[in-house]
Amino acid sequence: MPVTCLVSAKSCGVTTAALALTLACARSSLLAECDPAGGTIRAGLLRGQVSAGYGLHHLAAAERVGPAELAQAFAAHLVPLDGSAGHRRALLGLTDPAQAAALTRTWSALSDVLHVMAESAGHDVFVDAGRLTLDAGRLHAVLTPAPLLHRADLVLLTVRGTEQSLTLARHLLGPLRAELAERGTGAEALGLLLIEDGPYRAHQVADALKVPVLAALPWDPAAAAYLGVGGKAPRGFARSRLLRYARTATEQATVFAARRQVHQRYPAPAHPHLAGLADLPDRPVSSRGAARG
Ligand SMILES: Nc1ncnc2c1ncn2[C@@H]1O[C@H](COP(=O)(O)OP(=O)(O)O)[C@@H](O)[C@H]1O
Ligand SMILES: [Mg+2]
């Protein structure tokens, strides 16, 4: 299963989207809240019910002891997002942004753990990597979890369909592509996740930014507010538009990651007559018109 990293140019719905994807996924799923600016799920959806004794900030010390200790600590710090069922779990984020510096050497080892969870344990893994900060044209070493992006099967730059959001995203795309090409698994790991707020539709966003829109989530204030602040779930939350399209988005992420793996294993020049096979079209990405039931 894929490891999908969600990022943004400016706060626009990354945490909400990461939660929606994790909760809507058809398989066991895992959300790693790795935003160096600090986690919001503990105080938000979980309403402070999980103590600061659990979370990402405890993993730096374990990593310094060794990979086995990190893996153990990781498992011990996961908390359920689905009551006691345990199919959807989260590693909650930093309680203080000052903790980010201590994690710079942890990200790479944490990435190994997340890939084991995805590949061997069969989880869909979603990483909330927060808002990206650049430093001299590269991903900032402390203010971004850069190694997680480098290794991700899919990096989803989250944008809204507004002029402001597209303008900010445009400035980030060049450096992000270059970073993934030079230090990551390739610039093709990058796609857009469109939050359908604003006038621009998926094809217009893709045209404007020259990056494919791999998935779209609808503007759904009631469901998003619940994911943001918790409390009593709104009526029909599990069947809300946000969760239904989030489920479709998880399938699209899986298809995309599988196709990339095929491309990486069988590079196009070796099979020029078969190259088109890996690019057969999928279902439309826009949630508008893609509704089922
Ligand atoms: N799909 C959506 N529909 C409606 N509101 C949304 C949606 N996604 C995010 N929001 C709202 O946008 C705000 C920022 O969302 P959040 O997920 O915290 O962003 P980020 O993690 O990028 O800072 C919150 O008030 C949230 O409820
Ligand atoms: Mg956030």
Q: What is the pLDDT of residues 1-24, one digit of tens each?
A: 999 999 999 999 999 999 999 999
What pLDDT band is residue 291 in, cutting at 50, 70 and 90? Answer: very low
CA of 41 from ligand 2 middle (Å) equals: 8
- Determine the distance separating the centroid of ligand 1 and the alpha carbon of 74, expressed in angstroms: 27
pLDDT at 288: 56
The binding-site residues of ligand 1, defined as CB within 6 angstroms of any ligand atom, are 8, 11-16, 195, 217, 219-221, 224-225, 228, 242
Average confidence (pLDDT) over 80-90: 89
CA 47 – CA 53 distance, rounded (Å): 15
Ligand 1: which atom is nearest the Cα of residue 225?
A: 27
Residue 236 phi, psi (nearest 5): 70, 25
Percent of the chain with pLDDT over 90: 85
Q: Which pLDDT band holds residue 269 (cuts at 50, 70, 90)?
A: low
The pLDDT confidence band at residue 274, using thresholds 50, 70 and 90, is: low
CA 196–ligand 1 middle distance (angstroms):
11
Residue nearest to atom 5 of ligand 1 (CA): 221
Indicate the top mutation candidate among 5, 8, 16, 127 to test ligand 1's pocket, ranked by most ligand atoms within 8 A of CB: 16
The predicted-structure confidence for 172-226, as pLDDT tens digits, reads as follows: 999 999 999 999 999 999 999 999 999 999 999 999 999 999 999 999 999 999 9
pLDDT value, residue 186: 95
Residue 200's pLDDT is 98
CA dist., res. 244 & res. 21, Å (int): 9
Half-sphere exposure of 243 (CA within 13 A, CB side): 19
Question: Which tens digit of pLDDT belongs to each residue from 254-264?
Answer: 999 989 888 88
Ligand 1 closest atom vs CA 158: 22
Domain spans of the chain, in order of start: 3-279
Q: For atom 9 of ligand 1, which residue has the closest CA?
A: 13
Q: Whose CA is nearest to atom 10 of ligand 1?
A: 13
Whole-number pLDDT of residue 276 = 59
Least confident of 58-62, 151-155, 189-193, 276-280: 276-280
| Whether residue 290 has pLDDT greater than 70 | no
Q: DSSP letter at 234?
A: P
CA dihedral 194, 198, 203, 207 (to 10 degrees): -90
Q: Provide the pLDDT for residue 270.
A: 58
Task: Please report the pLDDT score of residue 271 as a whole number.
Answer: 59
Residue 157, CB half-sphere, CA atoms under 13 Å: how many?
31
Helix, strand, or coil here: 68?
A: helix
Q: Is the dihedral of CA 104, 188, 201, 287 positive or negative?
A: negative
Q: 100 or 269, which is more confident?
A: 100
Nearest CA to ligand 1 atom 16: 13
Q: How far away, in angstroms, is 277 Cα from ligand 2 center?
A: 37
Question: What is the 275 CA–ligand 2 centroid distance (Å)?
Answer: 38
Distance from the alpha carbon of residue 278 to the mean position of ligand 2, in angstroms: 34
Integer Cα distance of 134 and 159 in angstroms? 17
The domain 3-279: what is its CATH number? 3.40.50.300
Q: How far apart are CA 122 and CA 27, in angstroms?
A: 8
pLDDT over 60 at 278, yes or no: no
- For helices 241-265 and 14-24, the axis angle rounded to 10 degrees is 80
